[in-house]
């Protein structure tokens, strides 16, 4: 596949991810069960990253395990990772004190995902989902869109769409509160990616944040 076709493929795949993200707002159902097409955007993004790497300066750009440890030597990156943990604690405390129904909303959105009783399976799910989302939304989507627009709009767009992927119907204030903190987390992941050009670092922040939330919501 030549570069022109690769660039065309990138554009198409970006558009597909955008469209799939918005399907969460349509309340699509099959036999009364919600049809979560937005989750397919992650699969599309992962496939897109590995099939369009030739558009990058090097094939491991944005997802290089060899530079992972070195990237963590940055104090800024460590502080950003800790900030994601802090934001999840703040979210939990605020919800516990003033929006108690929020926790039930999150548990409804995640289903059996937050299940400490099956710890090995839960950890595997946390790893797979966090890694997949970071490859899709940071290593592919944010990386590619930042090539055609300034960083800030690219960051906001990727984070907004990432948030839509977590949308679940409910009381407006609860839904807003939920998406707000997902959006804030996504912004931090995006900044980490900008500073490291390494989705592994975003994955670490994402995984630790999800693990902490799982523990908190299971108390």
- The DSSP 8-state label assigned to residue 187 in this structure reads H
For 161-188, what is the mean pLDDT? 95
Residue 148: is its pLDDT beyond 70?
Answer: yes
Q: Higher pLDDT residue, 180 or 36?
A: 180
Lowest mean pLDDT among 53-57, 110-114, 140-144, 150-154: 110-114
What would the mean pLDDT of 23-51 be, rounded to a whole number? 87
pTM of the model: 0.94
- Number of structural domains (the chain) is 1
Model pLDDT, residue 113: 61
- pLDDT at position 1 is 55
Q: Do the beta carbons of residue 162 and residue 181 sit within 8 Å?
A: no
Cβ proximity of 141 and 213 under 8 Å: no
Quote the CA–CA distance of 43 and 45 in Å, as a whole number: 5
Residue 111 confidence class, pLDDT cut points 50, 70, 90 = low
- Please answer whether residues 3 and 57 qualify as being in contact, where contact means their C-beta atoms are separated by less than 8 angstroms: no
Phi, psi for residue 33 in degrees, rounded to 5: -100, 135
Dihedral sign, CA of 138, 111, 43, 17? negative
| Domain assignment of residue 163, given as a range | 3-217
């Amino acid at each position: 596949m030549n570069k022109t076709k690769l660039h065309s493929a990138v554009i198409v795949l970006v558009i597909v991810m955008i469209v799939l993200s918005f399907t969460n707002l349509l309340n699509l159902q099959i036999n009364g069960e919600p049809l979560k097409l937005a989750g397919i955007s992650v699969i599309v993004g992962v496939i897109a990253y590995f099939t369009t790497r030739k558009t990058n300066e090097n094939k491991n750009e944005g997802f290089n395990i060899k530079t992972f440890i070195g990237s963590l030597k940055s104090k800024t990156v460590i502080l950003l990772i800790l900030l994601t943990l802090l934001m999840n604690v703040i979210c939990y405390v605020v919800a516990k004190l003033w929006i108690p129904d929020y926790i039930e909303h999150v548990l409804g959105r995640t289903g059996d995902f937050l299940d400490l009783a099956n710890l090995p399976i839960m950890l595997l799910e946390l790893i797979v989902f966090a890694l997949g989302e970071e490859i899709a939304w940071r290593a592919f989507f944010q990386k590619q869109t930042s090539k055609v627009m300034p960083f800030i709009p690219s960051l906001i767009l990727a984070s907004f769409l990432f948030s839509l992927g977590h949308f679940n119907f409910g009381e407006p204030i609860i839904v807003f509160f939920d998406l707000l903190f997902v959006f804030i987390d996504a912004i931090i992941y995006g900044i980490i990616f900008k500073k490291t050009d390494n989705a592994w670092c975003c994955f670490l922040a994402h995984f630790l944040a999800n693990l902490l939330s799982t523990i908190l919501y299971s108390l």
